[in-house]
Chains A and B, each alone.
Chain A
Amino acid sequence: MNLRRARDAAIIPALSIVLALVFGSLIMIFSSPLILGLDLTLPLLAYKALVEGAFGSFGAVVSTIVNASPLILAGLAVGVAFKAGLFNIGAQGQFLTGGLAAAAVGVWLAHAPGPVAIPLALVAAILVGSVYGAIPGFLKAYTGAHEVVTTIMLNYIALYIVAYVVTGPLRAVGATFARTPDVGNATLPILVGANGHLGILFAFVAVPLAWWLLYRSTIGFEIRTVGAGPDAARYAGMHPRLLIVVTMAFCGGLAGLAGSGEILGLTGFMPAGYSTNVGFDGITVALLGQAHPIGIMFAGLLLGAMRAGAPLMQIEAGVPSQMVDVLQGAILFFLTAEVLVRYLFRIRAKSAKVAELQTVASSYGGQATPAP
């Protein structure tokens, strides 16, 4: 790894984060009359609690990693698709259906030995996530229906699939709210701290795997060629359509794996209204990490820290944890408006753009129909 290059690539993202924190402060100050009256020091209090909740103790650090690992997987699910010129907004749906599959198999094998139940539940999550990712890939490759719209629609459909399965066939008898029964022996073992479950390793295995796949394997070369321009890939004798389906299936599998970690490692069951935004956060992670697996790992850790610190921020400063979502959006804004960052800090830094996004935009507009 070229450290200097990595440092150059990190300047714009780092400054975007700084500006986002400033923006978040302004929102907190202007909305503080709604909490306890105008309070200019509220941002300091909030950010202090945020940092403390993320790094203040051993348990906090474990919590940061536990929060980061699904974000890294979801970030890879979006980032690897970026490399193929695809915008996988559907990581949320793949995450949900993967988690549901893990829950279903986990409930089914709740009394089987763990070494049998856990791998099968994980495989089910990866498979279902892959299929759910392959659907929009197939639609894009063979009908031209753009994944930006179809993946979002599939996210909504996934919500209803979960609602149906959890309130219907898989509903736990006697539970106070609609949820599946516990996954029993399929629960992931705790490795470290209070909730540092086995699933945190998946993310840190997936990062080098994705890197190797993208930059050291033949299929990775083909994926990147398709991302740079499907026409060039076709002239080089590759099969862009098949690659689109395969890439989306791979990304769906990653998101599904993230879902299984949350269900088997944290909740132990699937609730009907499972409200996490891991899949959507994956978009921020992928863009902040510039679609590079190493960058995605750091971006995931950063957002994981924010998620881990948010509850303490809510308790100590009264700032709702949704502030983290506001910060995420702001980070993306400054990242995209990098001219603004350069102007405000009077620097000339390396662009933090994901080049393959141009393929996403031109496939949505101008040349929507894939050539045969």
Chain B
Amino acid sequence: MDFILHVPVIGLLLQFIGYLLSVMATNGSLIITLSTPIALGALCGFMNERSGVVNIGIEGMMLFAAFVGWYVAALVNGGAPSNPGPMGITLPLLVGLLAAIAAGVAVSALHAWLSISVRANQIISGTIINIEALAITGYLNLLISQNPIPSAGNFQSFVVPHAAASVPILGWLLTTFLAHGPITLTMLVLVIVLQVLLFRSRWGLRTRAVGEHPRAAETLGIDVIRLRYRNVLLGGVLAGLGGAWFTLEYIGTFQGGMTGGRGYIALAALIFGRWTPIGAFGAALVFGIADTLGQAVSFNPPTGDLGAVLSGVPEQVFSALPYLVTIIVLAGVVGRSIPPAADGQPYEREAKAT
């Protein structure tokens, strides 16, 4: 059977698929780690868009939250190392996490006010958030870096007990899904909880109604404006968590523009996942795989013909992979993925009869 692998194009393709599968099998944990900010960003977008508010400001929300979380944690820490609990949890990190969430909610409140009350253009509102978040965090970070303060470190991954991790298949599942820091684990729980709530709860039904036909929902006694506000603010919690992942879990420091477009990829994940939490998580995994593949090629390059071919490919191609995949995915699926009908349209109450 081996000869198939040497047929010119098909062989190379098969080798690539084999390599991709081996990367996925050996890096399952990393894939989920790298998809966390995309998944949390997509969940934030989910909360917004399902109730009819377009949010392209997720990138800015996460960046701002990442900055605030990191800075507050460092301030609380004050250079004195505290005694870490399980998963590296310390008081400064927890305070930082709360601050990041508060920052996400605060920026979301701005977005909610502009897009729901002012009825401004929602795309522009998101753009402003992206521009201003990049500017303010860059400005303040530059000032802080003139007198740098030590960071408060970051959360550590949960360690799966060795006995459990060495069981053949179960061990792989456990390390892939559980060997993570608290934010990633929270994300995994949230995906399931939100999926259930969307289709099985009163809140989910109302949210879907408001996102599809706000006028009808209002007629049935649902307060459209209030529900939209609540969902956008809750979305801010998720964007805050996503931002905190960057500075409090993945890396322990802040860099200008460190979200690197993950908030925009989250928008694509939401579309690819057809506006459901599970779907968005699945889509986030695809981007996580693209990210992981880019890293794996340099750390653990394939051997044989494929290795020879890939070593001729510039490294920048692999760095650009998540962005390329996003475009290809969008171009491929968007026609068949239908957004909530009232998405992006400000709601105006009918005038009261006088």
* A contact set with B: CB distance below 8 Å: 27, 31, 34-35, 87, 89, 139, 143-146, 148-150, 152-154, 156-157, 160-161, 163-164, 168, 280, 283-284, 287, 320, 322-323, 325-326, 328-330, 332-333, 336-337, 339-340, 353, 357-358, 360-362, 364-366, 368-369
Contacts and interface: CB of A to CB of B under 8 A. Distances in A.
Contact of A326 (B127, B132, B324, B326): B132
Contact of B142 (A144, A320, A360): A320
Contacts of B146: 34-35
B131 A328 contact: yes
A326 B139 contact: yes
Contacts of B128: 329, 332-333, 336
A372 to B, nearest CB: 10
A353 B264 contact: no
Given A361-B123, A368-B334, 11 more contacts: A27-B136, A149-B330, A150-B327, A152-B261, A156-B260, A163-B316, A284-B131, A330-B132, A360-B123, A361-B345, A366-B344
A15 B123 CA distance: 22
B327 A139 contact: yes
Interface string B35-65: 0000000000000010010101000000000
Contacts of B54: 361, 364-365
Contact of B136 (A146, A280, A329, A332): A329
Contacts of A27: 136, 139
Contacts of A322: 135, 138-139, 142
B231 interface: no
Interface string B93-105: 0000000000000
A364 B335 contact: no
Contacts, number: 167
Contacts of A361: 54, 121-123, 344-345
Contact of A362 (B52, B114, B345): B345
Nearest to A161: B316
Nearest to B318: A160
B125 to A, nearest CB: 6
Nearest to B56: A148
Interface of B: 49, 52, 54, 56, 113-114, 118, 120-125, 127-128, 131-132, 134-136, 138-140, 142-144, 146-147, 260-261, 264-265, 267-268, 271, 314, 316-317, 319-320, 323-324, 326-327, 330-332, 334-335, 337-345
Contacts of B264: 149, 152-153
26 contacts: A27-B136, A35-B146, A143-B335, A145-B334, A148-B123, A149-B267, A149-B271, A153-B261, A153-B326, A153-B327, A160-B319, A164-B314, A287-B124, A322-B138, A325-B131, A326-B136, A326-B139, A332-B132, A333-B132, A339-B118, A360-B121, A361-B121, A361-B345, A362-B344, A364-B343, A368-B334
B104 to A, nearest CB: 18
B140 A34 contact: yes
B139 A365 contact: no
Contacts of B52: 365
Contacts of A148: 56, 123, 267
Given A149-B268, A329-B132, A361-B123, A156 B139 contact: no
B131 A150 contact: no
A35 B142 CA distance: 10
A320 B120 CA distance: 31
A144 B332 CA distance: 9
B135 A146 contact: no
A339 B114 CA distance: 10
Given A139-B327, A139-B331, A145-B334, A35 B143 contact: yes
Nearest to B127: A283
A34 B55 CA distance: 33
Contacts of A145: 327, 330-331, 334
Given A143-B334, A365-B340, A366-B339, A337 B114 contact: yes
B121 A336 contact: yes
A87 B143 contact: no
Contacts of A157: 320, 323-324
B127 A332 contact: yes
Contact of B331 (A31, A89, A143, A280): A143
Given A145-B330, A325-B135, A358 B144 contact: no
Contact of A150 (B316, B317, B330, B341): B330
Contacts of B142: 320, 322
B286 to A, nearest CB: 14
Contacts of B134: 325
B189 to A, nearest CB: 28
Contact of A156 (B49, B123, B132, B323): B323
Nearest to B344: A365
B335 A332 contact: no
B316 A160 contact: yes
B114 to A, nearest CB: 6
A39 B60 CA distance: 29
B316 A366 contact: no
Contacts of A144: 334-335
B121 A34 contact: no
A55 to B, nearest CB: 23
A89 B332 CA distance: 21
A91 B271 CA distance: 24
